[in-house]
Amino acid sequence: MEVKVLFFASMRDRAGLREAKLELPQSASVKDLKLKLVKQFPGLQEAMSSILVAVNREFAFDDLLIPDGAEIAVFPPVSGG
């Protein structure tokens, strides 16, 4: 299946691009996506343990299954006060 991945803020800098199309196996989870991202974009490795992922505009945890054609956003950790 194909998904669209959007990189935001420092994740964009680490990946070296704004968006990418990725091929994932059917029944891929967010965890599977993260593994694929690190392989394809090694600059993300250092931040991978703390990134935020949204699938179709909803924050997602590692065990969520990704639907075909999903739009995935990758954000750096957010802090505020």
Question: pTM of whole model > 0.95?
Answer: no
- DSSP code of residue 65: B
Predicted local confidence at residue 77, as pLDDT: 79
Of 3.10.20.30, 3.30.300.90, 3.90.580.10, 3.40.640.10, the CATH number of 2-75 is 3.10.20.30
For the chain, give every domain's residue range: 2-75
pLDDT in tens, 8-20: 999 999 999 999 9
Between residues 25 and 77, which one has the greater pLDDT? 25
Structure tokens at 27: 């029944």
